[in-house]
Structure 1
Amino acid sequence: MADRTLSDPRARLLELSQERGVSLASLSELLGRNPSYLQQFIRKGSPRKLEEQDRATLARFLGVGEEELREAQENSYVKPLQRETGEWVVVPRLDLGASAGPGRVAGGEAAFDTFRFSRRWLEEQGLARAELSAIRVEGDSMEPLLNDGDEILIDRAPRAFRDGIHVVRVGDTLMVKRVASAGPGRVALLSQNLAYPPVEVAADEVEIIGRVVWKGGRV
């Protein structure tokens, strides 16, 4: 039986490989990966989640539904959580912070409170079709644009990428940065505070959670 201390998709993948009598190394090679790829995924949590194409390939080979290999809360940051009630749109405040410093390991993403915004105001701001969540800023690397403790609205509606201020996840680290193209297959994560140097990474290492479209904070 699989080790139930593992997160569900990792435990299920290990269990299925044992039931089918196929090694993790063989399954890794099926994906065109190095032989230790799935072993690292299960035991070390790297990568944090399987790519969609890899998950689909494994599910077909193992004869199970793809959902069995998906995290229970996978993509929870991008699910449309806001609710509409008449003239008001209720936007959840998520119990996490996006670091404006070196980076913060993502914690829980449950809504612990809500904001209510006028539907008319959202329309005036061009946000009528937005899928909004509110989170707080932590750190000073985006000052003076965003300050420690500010609340920001992120629009998680799927759109073509364009340069701007985004909440992103790199590995398990959640941060708010200005994201700009840096050549083919590369992006730059830029801070407003010049004390923080730019960071350039491969585009496939960055998950865009949402575009920052509004901020609020104490004066």
Structure 2
Amino acid sequence: MVKDPQNPRQSLAGPRARLLELSQEKGVSLAALSELLGRNPTYLQQFIRKGSPRKLEEQDRATLARFLGIGEEELRESQDNSYVKPPKRRDSGDWVDVPRLDLGAAAGAGRVPGDEAGFDAFRFSRRWLAEQGLESAQLSAIRVEGDSMEPLLNDGDEILVDLSPRPFRDGIHVVRLGETLMVKRVASTGAGRVALLSQNLAYPPVEVAAEEVAIIGRVVWKGGRV
């Protein structure tokens, strides 16, 4: 916990506390850091002291982390840093309820895996799932955060992830790399290596040894606002 010097009765925690602490250590005002992001001067003050926005955008986190010389994970909300083994889906006659997880998989940087419970459900036709080859799939739904998979997956889209153990094949997957969780197109490059590819060409490919990447599940459907 960190005390807010402008309001000693208020204790800050998580990325808000860390950002305030770093700005004080570096002698850089929150207004200057806000302008670094191309935001209005009160943007980070509102983030820290009023909780608006609820969390920093992916690109803003990356910019601040580079400037402050820290890992981007230090500026992520702890409640976002989780993922789950698939909850049991509820079947009811011709319909199947697929749990929605209160979790975002970043289409750029990632999330630390842990445990997460479903807070809601999408209801799918059992027949439709069978037509898609998903009648026996272990499904959960999470949201996409960030723009690195645009235009295929947009910020705020919700995706169905099939966590059933299957042989690997190239495609869009939710993966764990080190301690981060992300959604990327995964392609084998041979010699025991894979490439993590973004749809947005502003993000360069990342090539790593195959054993460094854990395939959490394959993305099999997406939904989002028009």
If the length of structure 2 is used for normalisation, what is the TM-score?
0.61
Shift of 1:216: 0.1
1:175 and 2:176 are equivalent in the alignment: no
Shift of 1:102: 2.6
1:188 & 1:88 partners in 2: Cα distance? 37
Which residue, 137, 155, 158 being the options, matches 1:148? 155
Which residue, 108, 117, 120 being the options, matches 1:113? 120
Shift of 1:77: 3.1
1:209 maps to 216
Which residue, 99, 109, 115 being the options, matches 1:92? 99
Which residue, 89, 98, 110 being the options, matches 1:82? 89
Q: Which consecutive residues of structure 2, in runs of 5 or more, have no partner in the other structure?
A: 1-82
1:165 and 2:175 are equivalent in the alignment: no
1:129 and 2:136 are equivalent in the alignment: yes
Q: Provide Cα deviations, 1:169-202, integer angstroms capped at 9, x if missing partner.
A: 1122110000011212211100000000000111
Which residue, 187, 202, 208 being the options, matches 2:194? 187
Secondary structure in structure 1 of the residue aligned to 2:182: strand
Q: Which moved further from structure 2: 90-99 or 160-169?
A: 90-99
1:78 & 1:178 partners in 2: Cα distance? 21
Q: Give yes or no for contact 1:81–1:133 (8 Å, CA) kept in 2.
A: no
Instruction: Give the count of matched residue pairs.
Output: 145
Shift of 1:88: 0.8
Q: Give yes or no for contact 1:134–1:152 (8 Å, CA) kept in 2.
A: yes
Q: Give yes or no for contact 2:86–2:139 (8 Å, CA) kept in 1.
A: no
Q: Which consecutive residues of structure 1, in runs of 5 or more, have no partner in the other structure?
A: 1-75
Shift of 1:143: 0.2
Q: Give yes or no for contact 1:77–1:209 (8 Å, CA) kept in 2.
A: no
1:201 & 1:109 partners in 2: Cα distance? 27
Shift of 1:80: 5.3
1:198 & 1:77 partners in 2: Cα distance? 26
1:140 & 1:104 partners in 2: Cα distance? 15
Q: Provide Cα deviations, 1:147-186, integer angstroms capped at 9, x if missing partner.
A: 0000000111111000000000112211000001121221
Q: Give yes or no for contact 1:78–1:210 (8 Å, CA) kept in 2.
A: no
1:105 & 1:193 partners in 2: Cα distance? 23
2:170 & 2:114 partners in 1: Cα distance? 26
Q: Which moved further from structure 2: 170-179 or 100-109?
A: 100-109
**CA RMSD, Structure 1 to Structure 2 (Å):** 1.8
